[in-house]
Every structure is written in C-alpha cells, then in structure tokens.
C-alpha cells in the first residue's frame, strides 16, 4: 500500500489511492490493481468507501482510536478505517487502468478486465449510496457531514458552516501535522481542528449510523464539486459496464450521471454565474468564490455554462491572474481578501487537482487548455520536491513533500 505521503499521511487515503493507482499502472498493472483492491476491500456494507484505510504505522492524528469505528457494524471487521468518505474518483481510476492495460495486452489486460468486472458492483453500490443516503432531501446533490469529505478540508467554502459548529468543551488534540510541516501557516488552525474533531465525535456518538447522523451532526452541506466528480464517475462506470457487456449497469449509471449533472446545474447562481453549495442546516446557499465555483467544467451538462466556467477559470481573476508565476488554477482567487498563497485549500494550486481538471477538459475535447495546464504543472514539479500543493505566485512547494498523488499524476502525464 502506498501512503498518501511518507511522514504527514502514513495511511491510505481514498481519493489519493485512486490517483496513485493510475501512476502505478504505468509501472505495473498488477501493482496498481492491488492498490485499489486494498481500498475497495475496506468498503462498508452501506456502499461507502471510507476516506482513510489505516496502516499499522503510528504518527497521524486523528488515528483509528480517535475515530472509534471499530464497532461499526457496516465496516469490514478486519480493517481499521475512518467513518466518512471523499470524492468518488475511483471509477476514473479503474477505467484509466483498464485503458492502459488494454494497450499493453496479454496478461495485464486479462487481470485488469477481471478487476473491472468485480469492481463494477462495488462502484455501483458506492455511487448509489452517495445519491440516496447522502441525498436525503432529493436535491440531486451529495450532502457532506465534514469538510474532510470534500477533500478540500479548510476551503473558505466551509467557513460559515464551521463558524456555526459549537464545541461545548475543548477536545484534547495531539496534532502531528504541524510537527511534520515546518511552516505552520501551510496547515489549518487549532480552532479549525477543534471543529473537525467535534463533528467526528457527533458521528461516533451514533456509531456512524447513516440513519441517525443527520440528526446529530452540526454540518450538513451539499457539495457541488463532489457531485460534479460523481457525474464523471458514473459516466466512466457506464463506459466500463458497456465494455464488459453489463448494459443493465450502464443504464443505471447513465441515469445517476444525469441526476448529478442536473444537481450541479441547479447550483449555478443566476446572479454570479458561480456554482454554490447549499447549507442544509442553515437553509441557505453558500456562494464563496473558490475553484469549486467552476464545477460545471468538471461535470459538463450545459455548453453555455461550461464555456462561462472555462472562461472564468482561465481569466485574469484566476489562472490568468497577473500576480501568478504559473498560469495554473489557484484554489482561491488572488483577488480575494482571503487568498493565502501557501495555506492548504485557501489559495495554493494542487497538482492532482490540475490533473483531474485536465482529464475532464481532454475528455471533452479541450486538448489545448489541458496541455497548457499539464505543461505548467510539470514545470512546477521540476523542483523534484513533489509538494502537496504549491504557492502559485512563487512556485514554492508547500505542505508535505514527496506527496504520492503529486508524483503519480506526473508519471501519468509523462509516461
Ligand atoms: C488532506 O486531508 C487530511 C484529512 O483527510 C488531513 O489534512 O489530515 C486533504 O488534502 C485531502 O484531500 C487528502 O486526501 C489528504 C491526503 O493527501 O490530505
């Protein structure tokens, strides 16, 4: 199993693992499949793929004991996992690996086809869970219960919702991340971590039972970016199903993809043109300009809106901002007063995210922009640090070094 990063994240993370398996596939198809299998066998009986599969290595906070998922009936008993999820990029990885294996042929092809065949039911259960259990209001949007589920942990998208999270008493913390990452400014604050832990406690108080979580958790927001990723994942699952002669699955996944795409389009603000999240507890839209504002670039679904979102993200307030040394999408606009060029999800550009965006662009035929962002990201990575994220104004790596998915996307681009 490849850890998300050797020191900062010594376990397997869900969406990291998908990207990492794509990188591995260029070296060994069987190795790539083992990586995904390690994650998939941790899938809960509800369909949820957990956001962390813990290794035995200590040195990450919050570790498995803090998560307290050991007695959750839905969790396979022989693995230790967290109790929440992350964006569903896995079908994209299965399909990409299959494509690479088909090109290689022989035993690699046979192994990848077998794996894809056995993965189909897992992917269907996963996507189904997201669009049913996690869409209790029938909005065609996936609800999240923790900023970590978005993968964009401390994005300003979640600030207002977190401000409403009451922490009744200080929660003991033994943060490991700030010891590993030299620059404290790169990471979330203690105040943010207290809220992260409070939400975990609330979910643990009902043993991570989906039927009860909605009533106890102080964070319920529909995540437009995650929903956009789901639309793509369902498309890719439908493609896989067709290749493998499972038309029944293909139809269902196409229908889910359409729903997710409709959901994303329903979030476009008539005033700002940006995609918004919806805070279910507060009953209001959250229209904070971040990279997720341009989610239609990922989901597609309306050519005019797609073109608007593309224009916005390449424009002078975002990737084309004059202060940027690299013309890459920052996670928050440099014009925004909250822009922090090296603070995690509050401004830096993330190589893996650029890969995901270029993959979505290329799939839609926009090879020119995909190539521009690929080349600029590879130039950024020329320092050999394989940073978790980069300051887009200076090109300096930030957060963890030797971040696995950063290396994986570089391999996929140059192989
Ligand atoms: C970051 O999140 C973890 C919690 O899940 C952390 O900060 O401890 C995020 O960037 C997330 O998207 C990523 O999957 C994870 C591992 O790279 O790190």
Query: Is 2 among the domain residues?
Result: no
Decide: 148 in ligand 1 pocket, CB within 6 A.
Answer: yes
Query: CA dist 337 to 204, 257, 288, 346, 398, Å?
Result: 36, 36, 12, 11, 20
CATH code of the domain covering residue 335: 1.50.10.10
Query: Is 1 among the domain residues?
Result: no
For the residues 208-220, what does the mean pLDDT come to? 98
Ligand 1 atom with least separation from CA of 388: 17
Q: Each residue of 56-84: pLDDT tens digit?
A: 998 899 999 999 999 999 999 999 999 99
Residues with catalytic annotation? 153, 388
- Domain with 334, as residue range(s), is 12-414
- How many H-runs (helices) and E-runs (strands) does the chain carry? 17, 8
Report how far residue 400's alpha carbon sits from residue 388's, in angstroms, rounded to the nearest whole number. 5
Query: Is 5 among the domain residues?
Result: no
For residue 123 the two structure tokens come to 């992917």
Mapped onto helix, strand or coil, the DSSP state of residue 143 is: strand
Query: Is 279 among the domain residues?
Result: yes
For residue 12, what are the β-bridge partners?
53
Query: Is 147 among the domain residues?
Result: yes
Q: Each residue of 154-174: pLDDT tens digit?
A: 999 999 999 999 999 999 999
Q: What is residue 59's predicted lDDT score, i.e. its pLDDT?
A: 86
Sign of the CA dihedral running 177, 179, 181, 186: positive
Report how far residue 64's alpha carbon sits from residue 52's, in angstroms, rounded to the nearest whole number. 9
Residue 182 has pLDDT above 90, yes or no: no
Query: Is 4 among the domain residues?
Result: no
Give distance in angstroms: CA of 153 to centre of ligand 1.
Answer: 7
Q: What is residue 378's predicted lDDT score, i.e. its pLDDT?
A: 98
Decide: 9 in ligand 1 pocket, CB within 6 A.
Answer: yes
Which residue, chain included where needed, has tokens 């969790």? 75
Q: Each residue of 374-408: pLDDT tens digit?
A: 999 999 999 999 999 999 999 999 999 999 999 99
For ligand 1, atom 12, which residue shows the shortest CA distance? 151
Give distance in angstroms: CA of 185 to centre of ligand 1.
Answer: 16
Q: Each residue of 310-341: pLDDT tens digit?
A: 999 999 999 999 999 999 999 999 999 999 99
Q: What is residue 236's predicted lDDT score, i.e. its pLDDT?
A: 98
Ligand 1 atom with least separation from CA of 52: 5
Selection from 121, 127, 115, 145 nearest residue 89 by Cα: 127
For the residues 282-310, what does the mean pLDDT come to? 98
Report how far residue 131's alpha carbon sits from residue 256's, in angstroms, rounded to the nearest whole number. 8
Which residue, chain included where needed, has tokens 């890969």? 355
Query: Is 65 among the domain residues?
Result: yes
For ligand 1, atom 7, which residue shows the shortest CA distance? 153
For the residues 274-295, what does the mean pLDDT come to? 98
Q: Each residue of 107-146: pLDDT tens digit?
A: 999 999 999 999 999 999 999 999 999 999 999 999 999 9
Q: What is residue 159's predicted lDDT score, i.e. its pLDDT?
A: 97
Q: What is residue 22's predicted lDDT score, i.e. its pLDDT?
A: 98
Q: Which of 3, 4, 157 to mutate to test the pocket of ligand 1 (most atoms within 8 A of CB)?
A: 4
Sheet with 284-286, edge to edge strand ranges: 143-144, 221-222, 277-279, 284-286
What domain count does the chain have? 1
Q: What is residue 49's predicted lDDT score, i.e. its pLDDT?
A: 99
Report how far residue 181's alpha carbon sits from residue 175's, in angstroms, rounded to the nearest whole number. 11
Q: Confidence band (pLDDT; 50, 70, 90) for 412? A: very high
Decide: 13 in ligand 1 pocket, CB within 6 A.
Answer: yes
Selection from 147, 182, 158, 86 nearest residue 399 by Cα: 182
For residue 52, what are the β-bridge partners?
13
Report how far residue 259's alpha carbon sits from residue 262's, in angstroms, rounded to the nearest whole number. 5
Selection from 37, 41, 8 nearest residue 20 by Cα: 37
Query: Is 385 among the domain residues?
Result: yes
Ligand 1 atom with least separation from CA of 344: 10
Residue 28 has pLDDT above 90, yes or no: yes
Tell me how far the alpha carbon of residue 14 is from its chain's centroid. Answer: 8
Q: Each residue of 42-60: pLDDT tens digit?
A: 999 999 999 999 999 988 9
């Amino acid at each position: 199993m490849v850890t998300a990063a050797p020191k900062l994240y010594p376990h397997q993370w869900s969406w990291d693992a998908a990207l990492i398996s794509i990188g591995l596939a260029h070296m060994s198809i069987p190795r790539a499949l083992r990586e995904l299998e390690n994650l998939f066998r941790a899938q809960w009986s509800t369909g949820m793929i957990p956001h962390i599969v813990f290794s035995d290595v200590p040195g990450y906070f919050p570790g498995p004991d803090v998560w307290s998922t050991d007695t959750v009936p839905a969790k396979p008993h022989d693995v230790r996992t967290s109790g929440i999820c992350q964006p569903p990029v896995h079908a994209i990885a299965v399909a990409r690996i299959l494509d690479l294996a088909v090109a290689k042929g022989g035993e690699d092809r046979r192994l990848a086809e077998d794996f894809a065949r056995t993965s189909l039911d897992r992917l269907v259960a996963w996507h189904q869970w997201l669009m049913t259990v996690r869409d209790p209001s029938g909005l065609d949007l996936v609800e999240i219960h923790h900023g970590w589920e978005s993968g964009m942990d401390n994005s300003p998208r979640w600030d207002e919702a977190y401000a409403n999270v009451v922490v009744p008493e200080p929660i003991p913390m033994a943060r490991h991340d700030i010891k590993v990452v030299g620059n404290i400014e790169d990471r979330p604050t203690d105040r943010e971590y207290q809220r992260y832990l409070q939400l975990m406690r609330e979910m643990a108080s009902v043993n991570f039972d989906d039927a009860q979580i909605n009533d106890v958790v102080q964070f319920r927001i529909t995540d437009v970016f995650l929903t956009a990723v789901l639309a793509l994942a369902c498309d890719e699952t439908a493609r896989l199903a067709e290749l493998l002669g499972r038309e029944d699955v293909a139809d269902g996944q196409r229908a889910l993809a359409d729903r997710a795409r409709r959901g994303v389009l329903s979030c476009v603000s008539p005033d700002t043109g940006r995609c918004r999240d919806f805070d279910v507890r507060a009953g209001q839209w959250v229209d904070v300009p971040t990279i997720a504002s341009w989610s239609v670039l990922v989901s597609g679904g309306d050519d005019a809106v797609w073109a608007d979102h593309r224009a916005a993200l390449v424009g002078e307030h975002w990737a084309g901002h004059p202060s940027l040394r690299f013309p890459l999408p920052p996670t928050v606009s440099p014009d925004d007063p909250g822009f922090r060029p090296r603070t995690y999800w509050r401004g830096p550009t993330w190589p893996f995210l650029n890969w995901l965006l270029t993959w979505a662009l290329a799939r839609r035929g926009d090879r020119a922009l995909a190539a521009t962002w690929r080349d600029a990201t590879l130039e950024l990575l020329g320092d050999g640090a394989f940073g978790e994220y980069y300051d887009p104004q200076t090109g300096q790596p930030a957060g963890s070094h030797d971040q696995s998915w950063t290396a994986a996307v570089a391999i996929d681009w140059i192989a």
